[in-house]
Structure 1
Amino acid sequence: MSQLQESSYQNNHDQGETIKREVRKYLHFWYWFLISVVLTFIGAFIYLRYTPKVYKASAKIKILNKTKGLELPSSAFVFNRSNINLENEIEILKSYRIIENVVDRLDLTMRYYEEGNVLTTEIYKLPFNIVKTIGNDSIYISSSYKIVVNPNAFEVISSRTGKSLNFPGFDTTKTSHNLPFELSLNSVNPINNFVGKTYIVSLSSIAAVTNGLKGLIEVGVLGANSDLLQLNFKSQSKSKNERVLNTLIDVFNQDGINDRQDVSRRTIDFIDERFTKLAKELDSIEVGIKDYKQNNNFINIESDAELGMSQRTLSEEELFALDSQLMITEGLRESVEKPNSISDLLPANIGLDNSSINGLIDNYNSLVFERDNLKRSAGENNPNVLQLESKIRDVKSNVFASIDSYAKQLKTSKAQLIKKNRKFSSQVYSLPAKEKAIVDITRQREIKQSLYLFLLQKREEAAINLAITEPSIKVVEYAISGGSPIFPNSRSIYLMALLSGLLIPFGVLYVIQLLNTKVKGREDLLERNPKIPIVGEIPKVKSDQLIFKNPEDNSVQAEAFRILSSNVDYILPIKQKDNGRIIFCTSTIKGEGKTYVSINLSLSLSSINRKVLLIGADLRNPQIHTHISEEKHKPGLSNYLHDVNYDWRDALIKGFEKHPNHDIILSGSIPPNPAHLLTNGRFEKLLEEAREEYDYIVVDTAPTILVTDTMLISKLADATIYLVRANYTEKNLLNYSKDLNESGKLKNIAYVLNSVDTNKSYGYGYNYGYNYGYGSKE
């Protein structure tokens, strides 16, 4: 395998170990994850149990094209696309005017709720009769009333005043009150089924309900190339959802029908006005004929004028048609010239034989409809509304100009026809003047009669169009509610509960570990100081099991110190003579367990039949005496160092009965100048003499960062055991031990990690009980 492949393999291996180690950290707290998941699931169940269910109803409609008449094919026709502006229709559907009509039809200003122990749910109607006694316009502020169904009466409580009213016999009509509604029983639901229940009646102003309903109704195009609209509505009542959408569809459809019926109504009104004038004119002509005949003794036309009259007949028929068109034109001109607003519609299809004028009138009415619909949804000051009003004025001006031009054309044609008719008139010039006058009067009567019949026909056509106006929409699908609620979604809630149950403890643990600057395991030591070996990990034990008193002990603690003693042998230099070897135990600060490890390491070495001497060299803060129940000031090392006549063998004590090969020299009395005593040469002499008698000399020294005592004697050690305590020593303090190693101030340093939680084995993933088959004694 090449060096590059080995490096790649090592990196992948390290990454895998890192991932396993991180996962193992969190798996140790599996019970917190389990408790968190259980609690979040309970919370999700309670939330679903007491959260109001919201249902959704949907309906689909198609807007029908309102264009009438023949049109040239447009691009929309060629590509089979609707020319309906669906955005405008959506705005009209959601306009305040339409929604207010829905609210008024369904009487939504009064809503009903059923009060439960925890949850209050909206219902569509009460299980008994309720009749509102005030109009929607009389509701100015919101109010609510509690209706408690007692065994023999209704109890109504006003939320605003807190006043309670009782109505015996479940009938409010028999008692005087000022409630805005009346209550009574119905024959469908027995009152016993509702005794003890509480219902709430809420009244709101029509403006508030309309604005609220307007925000809840959703209207959108069904697809990118579709001309269908989908209507959605959500509430706690399926029945309410369907009734609101279906009523909205009906109101919108009727609104479109009413718009198109306005043209027919305007046409009928115009013809009715013309009828009144024609009736008066016909009556005047009839009276004139009668008076003329009576005054001139006129009976019939002379036979010799028949030929001339037949020639004039054709000419007069043409003149009659021109007069009819001219009268209709003049009537239409009067309608256009009336000082009315641009919102008034113009009469259409009244028999005018001019396609240009008829087209302009249809265009004018279409613009009026479009402007009115946009004004309802967007307001009067909308730029599109103002633009449409400008177009309407222009079209109306064109209509007036076209009528004026057509009238001039008719008058010109009439003048030409009269001129032509004079040629025929010369043929009958011999007719009596009175006969000629009666013929003129009769012709005027016939014109008026024909026009009267023509307008009567058009009025009937307009009345028929008014009666059979086609709908403005096609209902593709009436409102249908879904079977299950859309909120809350139980599947999503439980999934979120599961994720929350896992993420919450993970986040807490992550933050705790992120903020924890203590040394947690051997990884922290290897990361900071990879050059310093780790010779042991001492498990965390109970306070009554600190000392390795029994050489035959098989506890986790005993096995850990046996491993430590074996590993220490590997870092000690090879013996040159048959002399003992010196092991210093030190730490950065106090409390990291150097005395504890010193005692137990010496006992572990003694348990394998080695002669061991334990020296308490921490002259400032001695602690060995606390573990063997000796006096603090018992003569020891300080006495030997101070008194040249004192023999160190006189300070030897046996601290543990089952360890006959184990001797202890305590620190002795605390001196004022420990550093001076340790460097006066007697401590070095002591170690040299002890080497001759003992296999191992374990020295408990002072912390390195606090005093210089250990530095002064560090050269005397064969190996230095440097204590680091898990979850106690700050990681930054490891830099100090690194500096001591790199500078050579301490000889042959090796780490011992103390107080490792055997259940949090971040190193190899095995605790001592598993490795060696021994369980900890508790």
Structure 2
Amino acid sequence: MEMTQNTSPAEPMDDSIQIKDLLYLCLAKWKWFILSLLVTLSLAFLYLLKTPSVYTRSATLLIKENTKGQSLASDVESFGDLGLFQTTTNVNNELLVLQSPSIMLEVVKRLHLDMNYHIPGRFQDRVAYGASLPLTVSLPELTENESARFTLKVRPGGEVELSEFVRNGEEIPSEKVIKGNLTDTLTTPLGRVEITPTPYYDIDRGCQLKVSRTGLYGAVGSYSGNLTVTLSDKKASAIDLTFRDVSTQRAEDVLNTMISVYNENWVRDKNQIAVSTSMFINERLGVIERELGNVDENISTYKSENLLPDVQAASSLYMAQSSETNAQIMALSNQLYMTRYVRNYLSDENNRTQLLPANSGIESTNIESQISEYNTKLLQRNSLVANSSTQNPLVVDMDQALSEMRRAIITSIDNQILTLNTQIASLQQNEQKTTARIAANPSQAKYLLSVERQQKVKEALYLFLLQKREENELSQAFTAYNTRVITPPSGSMVPTTPVRRNILAIAFVIGLLIPVGVIFLREVMNTRIRGRKDVEKLPLPFLGEIPQWGGNGRSLFGKKKKREPAADSIVVREGKRDVINEAFRVLRTNLEFVVGKSEKSNVIILTSFNPGSGKSFLAMNIAMSLAIKGRRVLVIDGDLRHGSTSAYVGSPRHGLSDYLGFRTDKVEEILVRDKEYENLNILPVGTIPPNPTELLEESRFGELIARLRADYNYILIDCPPIEVVADTHIIEKVADRTLFVVRAGLLERSMLSVLENIYREKKFKNMALILNGTDGQSGYYGYGNRYGYHYGYGYHYDSGSKK
């Protein structure tokens, strides 16, 4: 990698970010996009789960124009003189009529849309309507504009519980749960509540409903808001009705009922004369019906009192009744005989193990079934006795059961005997009455004849008025509707809202835009050095850049993970092929190029603007990189206040400050040799002095450097930041070259102009720039994607030969 140097005049620093750079940054933060998409798509799915699906149902009406009444059919044109007249329909007027609250009010009343039922769900409450509604609730004591709601629980078997009452938006404090049964009228804080099961109610299944009642006019306004009435075409007389609702069945019912109400209102307006005529006829029919009813009642009462449905047939009827009665008495007597026989048979102990006669002639299904059951049980008992004995416990239990069955049969037979005796006595009394009526006086026909004559007169008048009423109704019936349904209410089962695809698409786009926006804002508001691109326009030589030590040095949200420097944090190792070792090899090559082989330019200081720029880290690892190549290297910890470099060798108690303070004269005694490479020495600080500046200003420090030049190929001095103390300026007097360390993410970009002025004013000798701490995952501004020291991966290298 060649060292770069920009000798062109300084240009203003460009803080803007290009699309290409933004793309690199976004690719580096791919985890942000995954997290953002997961969040936004999860929110979108949650929104879809919690938002009820709204469906659309549409119908098309054709408004008939210039019709006669309702276009009477050819076979009934003779009814054209019944008062029907020509009319012209204004489609725009009918459009307004269909949108009027009066029609929706009637729809709400007919369908009871002021009552709403919801089945609680995990994410949303599902509307219960039609086939999904097991119960209906009525609140008769609430006025039309009052609202209420409560929770209704139905347990298997029909028991109901009412709780959580709210009236007109105010919760009614009540710890008591109202309990009752279906079809009961319950007394609650809302007044009387009537619960009625629908045909879809299953008594074996419980359910829970959230019942709410909206004010009548509030419901009208709500449903009117979901209705859209428009003209299908400006040149046509067709109207499109569109209704949106969470229940498809309710939407269809609203449109159908709305069309019916509109047609009924239109027909009612067109048939006012026929309606008045119908009212007159109905009134007269009521009067005549009452008079005719009185006559019928007189005839009926007289015939009922005298048992005369027909005078001429009375004698024949009574004779037939007498014969029939005698036959019934004979049949009952036979049944009574057989019943007594069966009872005596059962009472005889000798017949305990004998079967009872199955076809005994007793006309009682109860007794016959008991006898059949007894015989079956007895056969089982006898079969068991045949295989065991009468002492068998099962036989004993069955004998006891058979005894109980015999007693039950005897009781039933006794009741049957009592019933038969009662019937025979009743028939005998009827026979006596019939004989008396046959001998009665037939002169009752005279009275019936006069009354029946009045009945026929009123009946003829009643039939005449009925005929006229039917003619009037027929005339109304042929006043057909002025509309024709072209398209009945229908629609797709795909919800109109929310549109799943659109919601997910929007969530996906937002999930992409959020991290892009955050990254853009972070970069726009980031005033610090981001990477190589920010320092490319500086005129001072650029030796190289070192990536962030520790590999994944950033968290998920892009913040650098803080890592405390360790005493053994020398990352350069012989034979290692990782990115940071390759970076130090490139830096070593550039450094050797600019220094050359002259001993007059081998004293190099490392400084920066900010503390924490990594000067000590760079000094030790550059020294290690040179030592691996066989160079004799000395690292001097010139920061007498902190001694960061000294920490790499354990911070010995004696060092540079002790030598400068004349506490020791032998440099060899305070030098620390590397354990692995003897050609690498470190001169630590030693005792932290109270007057580091005064010690450095002494000539002893310059003499020391001059003495050590000949012993080492490279002398690296770790200096404090230049803007903090004056020590660096003092040390720079004895140095040959200055390596200025800029830490990415630490130094403000505004300080680059200061650095450029320092270089142009030659305040430090032979300045060169090292960019430290670049992020290998930050795209174009970073290290890994910009240069890529990965060329050696995938191939075998001898770790001992590669330096």
**Structure 1 position 119, deviation (Å):** 2.4
Query: 2:626 matched to which residue of 1?
Result: 605
Say if 2:274 and 2:472, in contact at 8 Å, map to a contact too.
yes
CA contact (8 A) 1:55 1:234 kept: yes
Instruction: Give the counterpart of 1:727 among 728, 741, 745.
Output: 745
Query: How much has 1:706 moved relative to structure 2?
Result: 1.0
CA distance in 1, matches of 2:512, 2:625: 45
**Separation of aligned partners in 1, 2:256 and 2:136:** 23
Matched, 1:144 2:149: yes
CA distance in 1, matches of 2:644, 2:105: 89
Alignment of 1:164 with 2:185, yes or no, is no
Distance 1:530 1:246, change over 3 A: farther
CA RMSD, aligned part only?
3.9
Query: What is the match of residue 116 of structure 2?
Result: 111
- The answer to whether structure 1 residue 561 and structure 2 residue 581 are counterparts is no
- Quote the sequence identity (%): 28
Mapped to 2, the partners of 1:578 and 1:129 lie a distance apart of 103
Tell me the CA shift for residue 765 of structure 1. Answer: 0.9
Residue deviations 1:267-311, cap 9 Å, x none?
A: 999xxxxxxxxxxxxxxxxxxxxxxxxxxxxxxxxxxxxxxxxxx
Relative to structure 1, the CA distance from residue 144 to residue 607 in structure 2 (aligned partners, 3 Å threshold; closer, same or farther) is same
- One-letter amino acid of the structure 2 residue matched with residue 237 of structure 1: S
Q: 1:741 aligns to what? A: 759
Q: Retained in 1: the 8 A contact 2:611–2:721?
A: yes
Matched residue, 2:100 = 95
Using CA pairs under 8 Å that are at least 6 residues apart, name the structure with larger relative contact order, 1 or 2: 2
Whole-angstrom CA distance in 1 between matches of 2:729 and 2:232 = 84
**Residue ranges of structure 2 left out of the alignment (5+ in a row):** 1-13, 70-87, 167-171, 280-470, 551-562
Amino acid at match of 2:506: M
Counterpart residue identity of residue 630, structure 1: S
Q: Is the 8 A contact 2:659 2:667 kept in 1?
A: no
2:655 to 635, 642, 665: 635
CA change 1:227–1:751 in 2 (3 A) is farther
Q: Deviations over 1:718-744 (max 9, x none)?
A: 332111223333333333322211222
Distance 1:463 1:235 in 2: 38
Could you tell me how far 1:150 is from its partner in structure 2? 0.9
- How many Å apart are 1:19 and its aligned residue? 4.7
Aligned position for 1:546: 569
The yes-or-no answer on 1:488 pairing with 2:501 is no
Q: Which amino acid aligns with 2:140?
A: I
- Find the residue that maps to 1:44 and give its secondary structure: helix
In the alignment, is the contact (CA less than 8 A) between 1:37 and 1:498 conserved in 2? yes
Q: Secondary structure at the match of 2:536?
A: helix
Residue in 1 aligned with 2:22?
22
**Residues 564/652 of structure 1: CA separation in 2 closer, same or farther (3 Å cut):** farther
User: What does residue range 560-709 of structure 1 map to in structure 2 within 5 Å?
Assistant: 560-572=583-595, 574=596, 577=598, 579=600, 581-632=602-653, 634-636=654-656, 638-641=657-660, 643=662, 649-650=667-668, 652-709=670-727
Kept after mapping to 1: 8 A contact 2:134/2:202? no
Number of aligned positions between the proteins: 548
Is the Cα contact below 8 Å between 2:540 and 2:768 reproduced in 1?
no
Match runs of 1:478-557 below 5 Å: 478-526=488-536, 529=538, 531-541=540-550, 543=565, 546-548=569-571, 551=574, 554-557=577-580
Contact 1:246 1:479 in 2 (8 A): yes
Unaligned segments of structure 1, at least 5 residues: 1-13, 70-82, 270-460
Q: Is the 8 A contact 1:538 1:755 kept in 2?
A: yes
Matches within 5 A, 1:227-242: 227-242=237-252
Provide closer, same or farther for how the CA distance between residues 717 and 536 of structure 1 changes in structure 2, counting only shifts above 3 A.
farther
Distance (Å, rounded) in 2 between the aligned partners of 1:723 and 1:46: 51
Once residues 680 and 188 of structure 1 are traced to their aligned partners in structure 2, the CA distance between those partners, rounded to angstroms, is 105
* 1:144–1:530 CA distance, 2 compared to 1 (3 A): farther
Distance 2:701 2:788 in 1: 38
Q: Tell me the SS of whatever aligns to 1:770.
A: coil
Residues 702 and 486 of structure 1: CA distance in aligned 2, closer, same or farther (over 3 Å): same
Identify if the C-alpha distance between structure 1 residues 622 and 65 changes in structure 2 by more than 3 Å, giving closer, same or farther. Answer: same
The CA distance in 1 between the partners of 2:33 and 2:497, in whole Å, is: 28
Structure 2 length normalisation: TM-score? 0.60
Distance 1:30 1:133, change over 3 A: closer
| Deviation per residue, 1:545-578 (Å, 9 max, x gap) | 5125755555544333222111112333x55x55
Residue 674 of structure 1: how far off its partner (Å): 4.0
Amino acid in the other structure paired with 1:624:
T
Q: Matched residue of 1:747: which SS?
A: coil
Alpha-carbon separation, structure 1, partners of 2:240 and 2:725: 83
SS at match of 2:127: strand
Q: Do residues 752 (structure 1) and 770 (structure 2) align? A: yes
Q: Residues 224 and 616 of structure 1: is their aligned pair in 2 closer, same or farther, counting only changes over 3 Å? A: farther
In the TM superposition, what are the counterparts of 1:355-394 in structure 2 within 5 Å?
A: none
Is structure 2 residue 790 aligned with structure 1 residue 765? no
Change (3 A) 1:186 1:22: closer
State the alpha-carbon separation in 1 of the partners of residues 572 and 784 from structure 2. Answer: 28
How far 1:124 moved relative to its partner?
A: 1.6
Distance 2:209 2:201 in 1: 15
Q: State whether residues 145 and 156 of structure 1, in contact with CA within 8 Å, keep that contact through their aligned partners in structure 2.
A: no
**8 Å CA contact retained: 2:601, 2:737:** no
The code of the aligned residue for 2:128 comes to: I
How far has the Cα of 1:610 moved from its partner? 1.2
What CA deviation, in whole Å up to 9, does each residue of 1:105-150 have, x standing for no partner? 2222222222234421112246445464738x83341112332121
| Residue among 203, 207, 217 paired with 1:191 | 203
Report how far residue 597 of structure 1 moved: 0.9
Q: Write the letter of the residue equivalent to 1:22.
A: L
Q: CA shift at 1:641, angstroms?
A: 4.6
CA distance in 2, matches of 1:774, 1:675: 52
Cα distance in 1 for partners of 2:146, 2:199 equals: 34
TM-aligned CA distance change 1:263 to 1:713, over 3 Å: farther
Per-residue deviation, residues 187-240 of structure 1 (Å, max 9, x unmatched): 664322x32x20233222221111222222112233455543221111111111
The SS at the match of 2:511 is helix
Contact 1:540 1:758 in 2 (8 A): no
In 2, Cα distance between equivalents of 1:546 and 1:225: 87
Give the Å deviation of 1:184.
4.5
CA separation in 2, counterparts of 1:550 and 1:115? 68
Cα deviation for residue 639 of structure 1 reads 4.7
User: Which residue identity does 1:144 align to in structure 2?
Assistant: R
| CA deviation profile, 1:365-414 (whole Å, cap 9, x unmatched) | xxxxxxxxxxxxxxxxxxxxxxxxxxxxxxxxxxxxxxxxxxxxxxxxxx
Aligned to 1:53: 53
Contact 1:648 1:686 in 2 (8 A): no
So what's the TM-score if we normalise by structure 1? 0.62
Instruction: Measure the CA separation in 1 of the matches of 2:90 and 2:55.
Output: 30
Q: Does 1:205 align with 2:215?
A: yes
Deviations along 1:472-499, whole A, 9 cap, x unmatched? 3332222113212212222222223322
Residues 730 and 88 of structure 1, relative CA distance in 2, 3 Å threshold: farther
| Contact 2:613/2:772 (<8 A) preserved | yes
Matches within 5 A, 1:449-464: none
Equivalents in 2 of 1:133, 1:183: separation in Å?
Answer: 9
State which of 194, 200, 203 in structure 2 corresponds to 1:182: 194
* 1:188–1:768 CA distance, 2 compared to 1 (3 A): closer
Any conservation in 2 of the 1:587–1:724 contact (CA below 8 Å)?
A: yes
Instruction: Note if contact 1:90-1:220 (Cα within 8 Å) is conserved in structure 2.
Output: yes
The structure with more helix, counted as a fraction of residues: 1
